[in-house]
């Protein structure tokens, strides 16, 4: 939006003014929010118009309306201010008891559904005004091993698109820190009374219609890798984008799915879904909280990372 020469003469407050006027669509109301006079707002808008070479806001009897150029600038200006606020927040002393920061945690919903309840309980006690955004993440293709699968998530951590990721990753590069929260296996989830529950053999498993959780709609999963090694295959009749939706569908159909054992134990009963051991060995993984060592220099991220490790205890997960 601005070149290097422009930045030497830009007052960041002008972008704040732009944001508030865009929200209020009224100079007087924007002035009230910023504790400035309407003339000061008008003067600031004049500087912005010269800087950006556009009227930005047009006067009407009821206030102002943004030009197309102003609407185009809304998102990049909001992004600039969000990043600036984040930088300033990391420089301030972090007190969880009074902080109103928002942190973003990336995880598959089959994982976030496990750790969120104990984490939120701790936040109510220690950081009652802290806000959490959970971002659903799944690998682009389900595979048997976790090697390299979560590399895009590591990139998101470094870009600060997420503060912490909680995923089944065995190894991470040295520039990251990882902490195991719990260990996970997979079971075969099905509705109560499903025929497979009475005949849980490998042949019967392959005859069933399967559901795969896939963010992209890719129907090939890690189970297919394992089946192929034994000379078997299956029919994937449906893919859905998250684990909770999978439980709802399984409850109402004859579809079966390989789902995380801990997740199934915690949530399947309310759907009338049961879990059974798989007729062949599936993957075992460590669910780990991951962040970058650079991010841990932010006292807020470091506090949340440690809190995650303390909040998710075996008794909470398996009890």
Are 151 and 292 members of one domain? yes
Asked if residue 20 and residue 87 are part of one domain, the reply reads yes
pLDDT for res 314: 55
- Judgement on whether residues 191 and 178 belong to the same structural domain of the protein: no
Instruction: Work out whether strand 176-184 and strand 164-168 pair parallel, antiparallel, or are unpaired.
Output: unpaired
Domain count, the chain: 3
Closest by alpha carbon to 223, among 238, 205, 250?
205
User: Any idea what the CATH number is for the domain that residue 214 is in?
Assistant: 3.40.190.10
72 and 109: one domain? no
Q: 118 and 165 share a domain?
A: yes
Mean pLDDT calculated for residue range 297-304: 93
Q: Domain limits at 132?
A: 102-182+285-318
Six-digit token pair at 24? Answer: 């209020």
Q: Please give the angle made by the CA atoms of 211, 216 and 222, to the nearest 5 degrees.
A: 50
Residues 165 and 289 in one domain: yes
Whether residue 153 sits in one domain with residue 82: no
Average pLDDT over residues 298-302: 92
Question: What confidence tens digit (pLDDT) does each residue in 9-23 have?
Answer: 678 889 999 999 999
Structure confidence at residue 12 (pLDDT): 80
Does the structure show a pLDDT above 60 at 3? no
State the sign of the Cα–Cα–Cα–Cα dihedral 83, 85, 88, 94.
negative
Percentage of the chain modeled with pLDDT above 70 = 90
Cβ–Cβ < 8 Å for 57, 21: yes
**For residue 225, is it within any domain?**
yes
pTM for this predicted structure = 0.70
Q: Are residues 191 and 177 in the same domain?
A: no
226 and 267, same domain (yes or no): yes
Query: Do both 160 and 84 map to the same domain?
Result: no
Whether residue 131 sits in one domain with residue 110? yes
CATH number at residue 58: 1.10.10.10
248 belongs to a structural domain? yes
Is the same domain home to 36 and 155? no
pLDDT, the chain, mean: 89
User: Once rounded to an integer, what is the mean pLDDT over residues 38-51?
Assistant: 91
User: Is 97 domain-assigned?
Assistant: no
Rg of the chain taking only CA atoms, in angstroms: 25
The pLDDT of residue 139? 76
- Residue 96 belongs to some domain of the structure: no
Measured distance CA(91)–CA(93) in Å, rounded: 7
């Amino acid at each position: 939006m601005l070149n290097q020469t422009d930045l030497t003469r830009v007052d960041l407050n002008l972008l704040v003014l732009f944001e508030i006027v865009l929200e209020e669509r009224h100079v007087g109301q924007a002035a009230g929010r910023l504790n400035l006079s309407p003339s000061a707002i008008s003067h600031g808008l004049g500087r912005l118009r010269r800087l950006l070479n556009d009227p930005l806001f047009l006067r009407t009897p009821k206030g102002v309306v943004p030009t197309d150029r102003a609407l185009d600038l809304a998102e990049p200006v909001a992004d600039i201010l969000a990043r600036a606020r984040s930088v300033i927040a990391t420089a301030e002393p972090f007190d969880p008891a009074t902080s109103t920061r928002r942190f973003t945690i990336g995880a598959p919903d089959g994982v976030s559904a496990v750790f969120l309840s104990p984490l939120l309980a701790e936040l109510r006690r220690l950081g009652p005004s802290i806000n959490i955004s959970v971002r659903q993440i799944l690998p682009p293709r389900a595979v048997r091993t976790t090697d390299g699968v979560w590399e895009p998530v590591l990139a998101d951590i470094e870009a600060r698109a997420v503060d912490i990721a909680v995923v089944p990753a065995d190894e991470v590069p040295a520039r990251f820190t990882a902490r195991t929260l719990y260990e996970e296996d997979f079971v075969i989830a099905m509705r109560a009374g499903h025929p497979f529950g009475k005949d849980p053999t490998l042949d019967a498993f392959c005859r069933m219609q399967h559901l795969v959780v896939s963010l992209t709609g890719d129907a090939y999963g890690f189970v297919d890798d394992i089946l192929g090694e034994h000379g078997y295959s299956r029919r994937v009749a449906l893919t859905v984008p998250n684990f909770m939706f999978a439980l709802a569908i399984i409850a109402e159909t004859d579809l079966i799915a390989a789902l995380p054992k801990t997740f199934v134990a915690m949530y399947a009963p309310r759907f009338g879904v049961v879990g059974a051991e798989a007729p062949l060995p599936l993957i075992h993984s460590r669910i780990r909280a991951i962040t970058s060592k650079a991010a841990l220099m932010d006292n807020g991220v470091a506090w949340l990372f440690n809190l995650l490790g303390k909040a998710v205890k075996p008794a909470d997960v398996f009890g």
